[in-house]
Structure 1
Amino acid sequence: MRLRLTPRDTTYFDLFAALAQHNVTGAGLLAELLGADRAGRKAIAKRFVDAEHLADDAAHAIMKRLNQTFVTPFDRDDIYGLASALDDCMDAMEEAADLIVLYKVEALPARVSEVVQVLQRSAELTAEAMPRLRSMEQLSEYWVEINRLENQGDKLHRKLVAELFDDLAGDPVTLIKLKEIVDVLEDACDAFEQVANMVETIALKES
């Protein structure tokens, strides 16, 4: 790692860790929502909105810090990009939860829970990786595993869409609702991969 002659503001690492932890909460709420009845889903969706607001606040804290400091631990654009990417993960998960409630979905395909498990694991790995930005060490395993999980999510998404068209050919309204939900869940998987891509870019620049 290259020698630095100026001090670094370490507050950013704590803020990134906090933002990533909100995504862990969000993925957990999404899993909880799948097993709830319609009334329970509404209550969980309300908690999800609160969690999403906390994630927004954490992202805004990073942006505010960025505007207040001259010396940053790594490239300013990368700090902005990483904060935005982390926030996008929560936004996509919250959107999926909101659609499930708004569309009054009675039952979701079994594979949806598998996609949510991918999201939970992605969120956990991302939260574990954020503190390692301080040293930029032992991060390659993180982005490789996130890439693997995203590929797994892609395969699950393709199977889900195929099953929806097979099972709901005679019910186009339900088909449209469920396809939109599984598409947004796939967006969430992609969002976690984007975070990992940002971390890889930062690590390579700093090495």
Structure 2
Amino acid sequence: MKLRLFPQEPAGLILLSQMAQQIVHASATMAEILGVPATEHAKLVDDMHNHDARSGELHFALLTHMRSSFVNPLPREDMYALSRYLNEALEKLDSAAELVFLYQLDRLPRRAADQLEIISRQAELTVDAMRRLDNLDDLEDYWIEILRLAKRAERTHRVWVADMIRDMKWAQYSRNRDVANQLVEVTKDMRRVATQVGSIIVKES
């Protein structure tokens, strides 16, 4: 049976999709940061701050839209939760980039790139999912895939931390651990988005 909510006001879903797209852009910027010397980080971190600012603008635009729109495609509390989790994910990605800059980390372990690949994939899937929230067909697959990716990210984080404890001195470990923690928290926020979608599917089924 086709699941469908109220499609009269799709602007909110477009804003949510644009927020997810900012995470895709921010992931690409973070990948650039990981690939260049510390002397080139400053401009890229400024770019990351711009992604964060844009996400904040979209978040507040969605809040304004929900207040002014008579009919929304989802309950307001669900749209707010999705927007908040997406914005918090971007904030943590921005924090990771700033820590790399402040700590002058020239090279991060390969596990950082692995985590970034997961974040990028989660964000790409979420861009499409946010557009389709007024028609819940097949979104269960999105929910399940994001959860799978989040579990993979947690395993990667555990191995990364274990590697750092074994291979690094305390000061180096502490700096790299801060970045690792921020990246895994991004994946957890993306998981929260998917879990919220799952709750919407259950409520509307």
Please give the TM-score of this superposition, normalised by the length of structure 2.
0.94
Shift of 1:63: 0.6
Shift of 1:91: 0.8
Seq. identity, %:
27
Evaluate the alpha carbon distance shift between residue 69 and residue 195 of structure 1 in structure 2; reply closer, same or farther with a 3 A threshold: same
Which residue type is aligned with residue 146 of structure 2? I
With 116-125 and 70-79 compared, the bigger mean Cα shift is at 70-79
SS of corresponding position for 1:104 = coil
Please give the TM-score of this superposition, normalised by the length of structure 1.
0.93
Partner of 2:181: 183
Counterparts of 1:178 and 1:61, CA distance in 2: 35
- Partners of 1:82 and 1:195 within 8 A in 2: yes
Within-5 A mapping of 1:155-170 = 155-168=155-168
Counterparts of 1:3 and 1:20, CA distance in 2: 22
Shift of 1:7: 7.1
Within-5 A mapping of 1:21-36 = 21-36=21-36
- Partners of 1:132 and 1:138 within 8 A in 2: no
Partner of 2:198: 200
Counterparts of 2:19 and 2:194, CA distance in 1: 14
Partner of 2:61: 61
- Partners of 2:4 and 2:136 within 8 A in 1: no
Which residue type is aligned with residue 158 of structure 1? R
Unaligned runs of 5+ in 2: none
Partner of 2:17: 17
Counterparts of 2:104 and 2:174, CA distance in 1: 13
String of CA shifts for 1:127-166, please: whole Å, max 9, x gaps: 1211111211110111111111111101110001001110
Within-5 A mapping of 1:1-207 = 8-168=8-168, 171-207=169-205
Unaligned runs of 5+ in 1: none
Which residue type is aligned with residue 92 of structure 1? K
Counterparts of 1:144 and 1:130, CA distance in 2: 15
- Partners of 1:25 and 1:51 within 8 A in 2: yes
SS of corresponding position for 1:124 = helix
Evaluate the alpha carbon distance shift between residue 3 and residue 87 of structure 1 in structure 2; reply closer, same or farther with a 3 A threshold: closer
Shift of 1:111: 1.3
SS of corresponding position for 2:88 = helix
Counterparts of 1:136 and 1:3, CA distance in 2: 6
- Partners of 1:74 and 1:206 within 8 A in 2: no
String of CA shifts for 1:87-107, please: whole Å, max 9, x gaps: 111111111111100111122
Shift of 1:59: 0.7
Evaluate the alpha carbon distance shift between residue 142 and residue 3 of structure 1 in structure 2; reply closer, same or farther with a 3 A threshold: closer
SS of corresponding position for 1:133 = coil
- Partners of 2:3 and 2:137 within 8 A in 1: no
Counterparts of 1:44 and 1:120, CA distance in 2: 17
Evaluate the alpha carbon distance shift between residue 101 and residue 7 of structure 1 in structure 2; reply closer, same or farther with a 3 A threshold: closer
Which residue type is aligned with residue 69 of structure 1? S
Which residue type is aligned with residue 166 of structure 2? D
